[in-house]
Structure formats: structure tokens, C-alpha cells
Amino acid sequence: MLVKFTEICTNGAVTTQQDFMLREIFVNPEHVIMIREERRLQELNERGMLAAGLNPNHRFSKVTINRGQAGTDIVVVGAPDTIKAELNIQSDPKKKQILRG
């Protein structure tokens, strides 16, 4: 099952001023290997430098998707906990986990 998110990306032009835009993206939860907070875009959004219409309180997450030998990073609108809940990622007690101690 694919999950829909709103991705924030640049226009792709190599200029000193980056233009950001929003687009829909569909992600397979089985291929997500990492979710982390993206503070830089949150700060740009608070200053009004991202796409028009975004609430300055929005948080952003960088999602890493497995592509075999490498990963692809995408930045989506939403806090890491929200993204995790949308992906319905559950901790499986039968799977091995890293112990911190």
C-alpha cells in the first residue's frame, strides 16, 4: 500500500535563489529506512522563504528510501512522529533491535 505525502523540492534550476515548490508523492512504507527532522527548511519556512501558503508552524522530515545499493532522500511536510504514524511503522518485538545502554 502506498502512502501519500506532500514533498517540498526545489525547481531544479542552478541559481543563487532557490524556488521551492510542493508536490504530491506516494511512498511504499516497506522501503523507508530512516526518518529525521529537517530543521533547515523549518527555519526557512518560519522566515517565509518557502512555498506560499505554508503555515510557519509546519515541521519537515527527511525520509530516506532504500534503492538497493543507495538511498534516496526526500523532504516531506510533517514532523517525524507524524510521518511514522502515517507510514504505520510498528516496532516488531520479534525483530532484532540495537540496545543502548
The answer to whether position 40 is within a domain reads yes
Please indicate, yes or no, if residue 31 is contained in any of the structural domains. yes
pLDDT at residue 7 above 90?
A: yes
Residue, of 92 and 3, whose pLDDT is higher? 3
pLDDT digits 0-9 by tens, 33-64: 999 999 999 998 988 888 777 888 999 999 99
Residue range 5-19: average pLDDT?
76
Q: Is 66 domain-assigned?
A: yes
Domain range for 71: 3-87
Which cell is 69 given?
545499493
Look at residue 22 and tell me if it is in a domain: yes
Quick check: is 10 in a domain? Answer: yes
- pLDDT at position 24: 95
20 falls within a domain: yes
The total number of structural domains in the chain stands at 1
Burial 61-88 (b: 16+ CB within 10 A, else e): bbbbbeeeeeeeebbbbbebeebbeebe
Residue 50 lies in a domain: yes
What is residue 63's three-state secondary structure?
A: strand
Quick check: is 95 in a domain?
no
Q: Are 8 and 22 in contact (CB under 8 A)?
A: yes
Q: Could you give the angle at the alpha carbon of 44 between the alpha carbons of 37 and 14, nearest 5°? A: 100
CB-based contact 2:26 (threshold 8 Å)? yes
